[in-house]
């Protein structure tokens, strides 16, 4: 397992079956000082973590096992936990390098996309203009 | 297995996958036999032997072996501290001696 | 399987009980032209290899396919000592030549 920081979310509507309910997050592996190593990963995530959070993640075959339901899915990186505090080489790693409050409340990105509704009365539209 | 040095601790009690609940996680730096670091990325390892910061340890990085040690079938575990390193001998020379370092 | 040179050994008196009785070797990986790479692995010995031997080792679940490591939590095993190997008709290594 490795240390990482969640940097963003990723939405993909067309996916392999069994992955429909898997949240995808962008993830940055960290070095010993908590800085980015320059890599960028897309991780599956079944936990409530969001951008800015420090996490640990697992790669390879074990990643799919970190998912709650279907564990035979083509997933090779998964977040395994939220890191509350990490001390490395005697220093506490910054918990939110993005300078944002810890993201806990996040909208469900899998909700139905907003559908454009045709106005019932074309003339009413006309009036508004 | 790889050689590593324990360099830190991780507190992760509240939000994690169920299989990791109650496990002690440590930050380890993979090292060469002479003790120099390999690569920039530290690893997070589950401690099974009671290791602490500064210890030179043996780390298994393979899931089936890890699940067998933890007796946790189906757990998303991979990186485990499984032993303390007492001595490393390299080309007939002792390059690490825990007793001498202490 | 990969080729490496046994460059040393590891002594570990306190370890998981399922790993007891294992002889642990430090193997430095070799590339296709027999040059040492900056990559080391600690592997369980199943063939009686020693320092200086060029060996074959297996990692992952294959590492549990020897009688020494069967059903043991082991992720790397030395399971052959290399006598010679060649690439493209050229002998890269000959154990008994020196």
Q: Is B3 in contact with C14 (Cβ distance < 8 A)?
A: no
Strand B43-47 and strand B79-84: the pairing is parallel
Sequence spans of domains, chain A: 2-128
What is the percent of chain A with per-residue pLDDT over 90, rounded to a whole number?
A: 60
Q: Cβ A82–B16 below 8 Å, yes or no?
A: yes
Q: What is the DSSP letter of C70?
A: T
Contact A21, A69 (CB under 8 A): yes
Q: Which residues of C touch B61 (CB under 8 A)?
A: 75
- Tell me the chain B residues in contact with residue A56 when contact means C-beta distances shorter than 8 Å: 10, 12, 16, 25, 44
Superfamily of domain A2-128, CATH level 4? EutN/Ccml (2.40.50.220)
Place of tokens 């690569």: B39
Residue B95 distance to chain A (closest CA, Å): 22
Range of the domain at C10: 2-97
* pLDDT for position C65: 93
ipTM of the complex: 0.91
Could you tell me which residues of chain B have a Cβ less than 8 Å from any Cβ in chain A?
7-17, 19-20, 25, 27, 29, 40-46, 63, 74-79
At the topology level of CATH, where does B2-12+20-101 sit? OB fold (Dihydrolipoamide Acetyltransferase, E2P) (2.40.50)
Query: CA–CA separation, A103 vs C13, rounded Å?
Result: 45
Q: What is the pLDDT along chain A (129 residues), one digit of tens a residue?
A: 999 999 999 999 999 988 888 999 999 999 999 999 999 999 999 999 999 999 999 999 999 999 988 888 999 999 999 999 999 999 998 876 554 444 444 445 555 555 555 556 555 555 554
Burial class (CB in 10 A: 0-12, 13-18, 19+), C73: buried
- For residue B14, give every residue at least 6 positions away whose Cβ sits within 8 Å of its Cβ, in sequence order, or none: A82, A84
The answer to whether B25 and B79 are in contact (CB under 8 A) is: no
Torsion region of B2: left, alpha or beta (phi above 0 gives left; psi -120 to 50 gives alpha)? beta
For residue B95, give both structure tokens: 């390059």
Task: Give chain A's radius of gyration (CA, Å).
Answer: 19
Q: Which pTM does this prediction carry?
A: 0.83
In this structure, the number of other CB atoms found within 10 A of the CB of residue C95 comes to 13
Q: Are A7 and A98 in contact (CB under 8 A)?
A: yes
Token pair of A66 as six digits: 């970190």
3 state SS for B5-51? EEEEEEECCCCECHHHCCCCEEEEEEECCCCCECCCCCEEEEECCCC
Chain C residues touching residue B65 (CB < 8 angstroms): 63-64, 72-75
Q: What domain count does chain C have? A: 1
Q: Is-contact B16 A81, C-beta < 8 A?
A: yes
Q: What does the radius of gyration of chain B's CA atoms come to, in whole angstroms?
A: 14
Of C13, C71, C72, the CB nearest to B86: C13
Residue for token digits 């589950």? Answer: B46
What is the DSSP secondary structure assignment for residue A98, as one 8-state letter?
T
Record: contact A3-B10, CB cut-off 8 A? yes
The pLDDT tens digits for C64-81 are 999 999 999 999 999 999
**Taking Cα atoms as reference points, which of A26, A34, A22 lies closest to residue A7?**
A26
d(CA A88, CA A93): 7
pLDDT tens digits along B1-59: 999 999 999 998 777 898 898 899 999 999 999 999 998 999 999 999 999 999 999 99
Domain ranges of chain B: 2-12+20-101
Q: Which of B24, B30, B76 to mutate to test the interface with A (most CBs of A within 10 A)?
A: B76
């Amino acid at each position: 397992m490795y240390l990482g920081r969640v940097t963003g979310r990723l939405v993909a509507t067309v996916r392999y079956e069994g992955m429909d309910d898997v949240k995808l997050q962008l993830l940055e592996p960290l070095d010993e000082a908590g800085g980015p190593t320059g890599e960028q990963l897309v991780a599956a995530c079944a936990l409530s973590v969001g951008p800015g959070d420090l996490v640990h993640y697992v790669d390879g075959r074990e990643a799919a096992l970190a998912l709650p339901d279907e564990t035979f899915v083509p997933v090779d990186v998964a977040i395994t936990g939220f890191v509350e505090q990490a001390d490395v080489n005697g220093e506490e790693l910054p918990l939110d390098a993005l300078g944002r409050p810890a993201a806990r409340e996040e909208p469900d990105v899998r909700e139905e996309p907003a559908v454009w509704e045709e106005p019932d009365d074309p003339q009413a539209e006309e009036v508004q203009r | 297995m790889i050689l590593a040095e324990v360099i830190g601790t991780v507190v992760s009690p509240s939000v994690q996958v169920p299989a990791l609940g109650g496990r002690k996680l440590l930050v380890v730096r993979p090292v060469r036999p002479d003790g120099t670091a390999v690569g920039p990325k530290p690893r997070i390892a589950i401690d099974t032997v009671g290791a602490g910061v500064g210890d030179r340890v043996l780390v298994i990085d393979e899931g089936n072996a890890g699940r067998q040690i933890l007796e946790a079938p189906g757990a998303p575990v991979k990186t485990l501290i499984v032993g303390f390193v007492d001595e490393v001998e390299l080309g007939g020379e002792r390059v690490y001696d825990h007793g001498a370092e202490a | 399987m990969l080729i490496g040179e046994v460059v040393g050994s590891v002594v570990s008196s306190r370890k998981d009980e399922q790993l007891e009785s294992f002889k642990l070797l430090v193997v430095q990986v070799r590339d296709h032209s027999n040059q040492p790479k900056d990559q080391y692995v600690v592997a369980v010995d199943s063939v009686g290899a020693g320092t200086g031997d060029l060996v074959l080792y297996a990692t992952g679940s294959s590492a549990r396919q020897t009688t020494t490591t069967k059903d043991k939590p082991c992720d790397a095993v030395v399971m052959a000592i290399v006598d010679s190997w060649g690439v493209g008709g050229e002998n890269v290594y000959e154990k008994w030549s020196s």
